[in-house]
Amino acid sequence: MNTHAENEKSKPIGIFDSGIGGLTVVKSLLYMLPKESLIYFGDTARLPYGTKSKKTLIDFSLQNVDFLLKKNVKLIVVACNSASSAAIKEMQEYSPVPVIGVIEPGAISALNATKSKYIGIIGTRGTVQSGAYYRTLITMDSNVKILQQACPLLVPLIEEGWLFHQSTKNILSEYLVPFKNEKLIDVILLGCTHYPLLKHMIKEELPNVEIVDSASATSVIVEKYLQDNSLLNPIFENKIEEYYLSDITENFITLASEFLGKSIADKVKLYKNDN
Amino acid sequence: MNTHAENEKSKPIGIFDSGIGGLTVVKSLLYMLPKESLIYFGDTARLPYGTKSKKTLIDFSLQNVDFLLKKNVKLIVVACNSASSAAIKEMQEYSPVPVIGVIEPGAISALNATKSKYIGIIGTRGTVQSGAYYRTLITMDSNVKILQQACPLLVPLIEEGWLFHQSTKNILSEYLVPFKNEKLIDVILLGCTHYPLLKHMIKEELPNVEIVDSASATSVIVEKYLQDNSLLNPIFENKIEEYYLSDITENFITLASEFLGKSIADKVKLYKNDN
């Protein structure tokens, strides 16, 4: 029996995000890989990341990676589009364990889904301006056509809990106009981990378009990596599930439950990563 | 000639906020006290403050005070409702120079304006939940009646630049319903430094109500303090005006100009306060 290999398999997967949006990735991981231990870090004291500069995001991301490495994780998932687009290379160079962002899995999934080779992308202003999805898609398939739209108000609307509110519908409808005008677009890539919570409304606005979300796409890539490297945890026993936030408020706890579909009130600990 | 006293007078006023909202206070100070030097710090790397816990806000606020003290200011204005409500006492105990928040000036101004003694307050969720305006008003006049409403989406809408957008109007209109139903309310206190940018819409929704904003109210108190303590700068010469942000993006610079009514692109410097 190879004890070292068994130990490696039982190590947790580390996940971080600027806040609680990355819990859509956790939800997907819990569903697809129920035997894996998970350690989540949400940098709620410094959210949002979407409005911050590349330099600042690199600093923050490396601090978050450090924290997860101290927790002895076997793999790090960057469940944050802003951090993935600004700092994935820096994190991969820095970390001794693999670092998987949400951009590449989302791009692969969108390319697999499109027939027309014309893909729409929605995200925060930071993600769209970074051009990360755009570059990744073009590198993978130079024939693909892309239309991007920044939707800065969707995260605040989701965090307000207005998931079925008329104003959310109006604002979303306005943001999606460019896609309605481009009939050839057959795939919309949700370039923000919050957006799966508005899937029902996006589907209503764009009934003939397939919706691809990075959260689910990332879980698929994580599973594949663990399988290919014989790192899947084979047993349910001693599984851990921990959530750390750099700032804890009642609102974060309520929202977290909304994102995850279950309460994490008894699993949340405070961790300050900036000093 | 008292050189020490002259030196004290020529020192700058320090102002800080979580981001660029506090520039409405700066705008008011520049208008009312054009001879004063100003040093502004916006903690854009860690905004917003409205969603963060009291403990975290105390940490951040004291770091910001430290920075302004190093800049040799004669007075500190906390142009941020969240920091004012969470940490004003801690800052006043800590700082050797006076610290003036926005809560008390706003409250005084609202009390001066109301005839019916029934005051409405709007602010971020953090400011409303803290109850800071409520407590301050009740302490000043135990007969006053207060109705508060959190409006978490107004800041994102303002930062999106949607100052005349139909969705902003709809959302604002919904937030203001409780005030429309209470005919006796004759004053609305804007408990957020962003909100003066929506004054035109609030006026439209509540035409018979007087709008009091903390930004202008705070400038009045600052002027009074400097006057009472013979600290007003008597001359225009060598006046400085500096803006520091903990993160700089193009969007912040554009927004700053909107808040201030003039460009500060050539006056902005980066200052990291978290390490």
Establish if B275 belongs to a structural domain: no
Establish if B260 belongs to a structural domain: yes
Q: Are residues B90 and B157 located together in one domain of the fold?
A: no
Establish if B144 belongs to a structural domain: yes
- Supply the pLDDT for residue A94: 98
Q: Which of A214, A241, A262 lies at the terminal end of a domain, its last residue?
A: A214
Q: Are residues A67 and A93 located together in one domain of the fold?
A: yes
- 3-state SS string for B224-263: HHHHHCCCCCCCCCCCCEEEEECCCCHHHHHHHHHHHCCC
Q: Are residues A66 and A34 located together in one domain of the fold?
A: yes
Residue A97 scores a pLDDT above 70: yes
At B124, the pLDDT band (50, 70, 90 cuts) reads confident
- For A19, A146, A152, A191, A213, the CA distances from A120, given in Å and listed in that order, are 25, 6, 16, 10, 12
Establish if A275 belongs to a structural domain: no
- Supply the pLDDT for residue A185: 97
Residue B42 scores a pLDDT above 80: yes
Quote the CA–CA distance of A49 and A249 in Å, as a whole number: 18
Nearest to B217 by CA among B85, B123, B121, B113: B113
Q: Which of A56, A170, A255 would you mutate first to test chain B, the one with the most B CBs within 10 A?
A: A56
- Supply the pLDDT for residue B205: 96
Q: Are residues B206 and B113 located together in one domain of the fold?
A: yes
Structural domain tally of chain B?
2
Distance from CA of B254 to the nearest CA of A (A): 13
- Residue A187, domain extent: 104-214
Residue B9 phi, psi dihedral angles, 5° rounding: -60, -35
Q: Are residues A66 and A91 located together in one domain of the fold?
A: yes
At B1, the pLDDT band (50, 70, 90 cuts) reads low
Quote the CA–CA distance of A273 and A64 in Å, as a whole number: 7
* Interaxial angle between packed helices B81-94 and B132-140, expressed in degrees from 0 to 180 and rounded to the nearest 10: 70
- Give the CATH number of the domain where residue A42 resides: 3.40.50.1860
Q: Are residues B224 and B123 located together in one domain of the fold?
A: no
Lowest model confidence (mean pLDDT) among B74-78, B143-147, B201-205, B238-242: B238-242
- Supply the pLDDT for residue A274: 65
Q: Are residues A93 and A222 located together in one domain of the fold?
A: yes
How does pLDDT run across A103-117, given as a tens digit for each residue? Answer: 999 999 999 999 999
Question: For A270, what's the count of Cα atoms within 13 Å in the CB-facing half-sphere?
Answer: 11
Establish if A235 belongs to a structural domain: yes
Residues of chain A with Cβ-Cβ distance to B254 below 8 Å are none
Q: Would you give the end-to-end CA distance of chain A in angstroms?
A: 42
Establish if A255 belongs to a structural domain: yes
Average pLDDT over residues A172-191: 96
- Supply the pLDDT for residue B253: 87
- Supply the pLDDT for residue A195: 94
Quote the CA–CA distance of B154 and B194 in Å, as a whole number: 8
Q: Are residues B228 and B95 located together in one domain of the fold?
A: yes
How does pLDDT run across A209-256, given as a tens digit for each residue? Answer: 999 999 999 999 999 999 999 999 998 888 999 999 999 888 788 888
How does pLDDT run across B218-260, given as a tens digit for each residue? Answer: 999 999 999 999 999 998 888 999 999 999 888 788 888 888 8
Lowest model confidence (mean pLDDT) among A88-102, A259-273, B20-34: A259-273
pLDDT, averaged across chain A? 93
Q: Which of B214, B232, B253 lies at the terminal end of a domain, its last residue?
A: B214
Establish if B257 belongs to a structural domain: yes
Distance from CA of A251 to the nearest CA of B (A): 8
Lowest model confidence (mean pLDDT) among A35-44, A139-148, A243-252: A243-252
Does A52 contact B249 at a Cβ distance shorter than 8 Å?
Answer: yes
Q: Are residues B40 and B167 located together in one domain of the fold?
A: no
Considering the candidates B26, B192, B198, B255, report the single residue annotated as catalytic: B192
Residue A275 scores a pLDDT above 60: no
Average pLDDT over residues A9-25: 94
At A124, the pLDDT band (50, 70, 90 cuts) reads confident
Residue B3 scores a pLDDT above 80: no
% of chain B at pLDDT higher than 90: 73
Q: Which of A153, A174, A273 would you mutate first to test chain B, the one with the most B CBs within 10 A?
A: A153
Residues of chain A with Cβ-Cβ distance to B51 below 8 Å are 44, 47, 247, 249, 251-252
- Supply the pLDDT for residue A259: 87
Q: Which of B214, B237, B255 lies at the terminal end of a domain, its last residue?
A: B214
At B9, the pLDDT band (50, 70, 90 cuts) reads very high
CA of B165: which chain A residue's CA is closest? Answer: A171
ipTM value > 0.90: no
Q: Are residues A48 and A135 located together in one domain of the fold?
A: no
Residue A84 scores a pLDDT above 90: yes
Q: Cα B254 to the chain's mean position, in Å? A: 19
Burial of residue A87, with CB atoms counted within 10 A of its CB: 0-12 exposed, 13-18 middle, 19 or more buried: buried
Of the candidates A45, A56, A155, the beta carbon closest to that of B56 is on: A45
- Residue B23 at interface with chain A, using a CB cutoff of 8 Å: no
Query: Which residues touch B156 (CB under 8 Å, ≥6 apart)?
Result: A152, A153, A155, A156
Q: Are residues A195 and A242 located together in one domain of the fold?
A: no
Q: Are residues A93 and A225 located together in one domain of the fold?
A: yes
- Supply the pLDDT for residue A1: 52
Q: Which of B53, B155, B174 would you mutate first to test chain A, the one with the most A CBs within 10 A?
A: B53
Quote the CA–CA distance of B224 and B154 in Å, as a whole number: 31
B151 carries an active-site annotation: no
Establish if A41 belongs to a structural domain: yes
How does pLDDT run across B147-193, given as a tens digit for each residue? Answer: 999 999 999 999 888 999 999 999 999 999 999 999 999 999 999 99
Q: What H or E segment, with its residue span, contains residue B219?
A: helix B214-228
Q: What is the pTM of this model?
A: 0.82
- Supply the pLDDT for residue A261: 83
Residues of chain A with Cβ-Cβ distance to B153 below 8 Å are 153, 156-157, 160
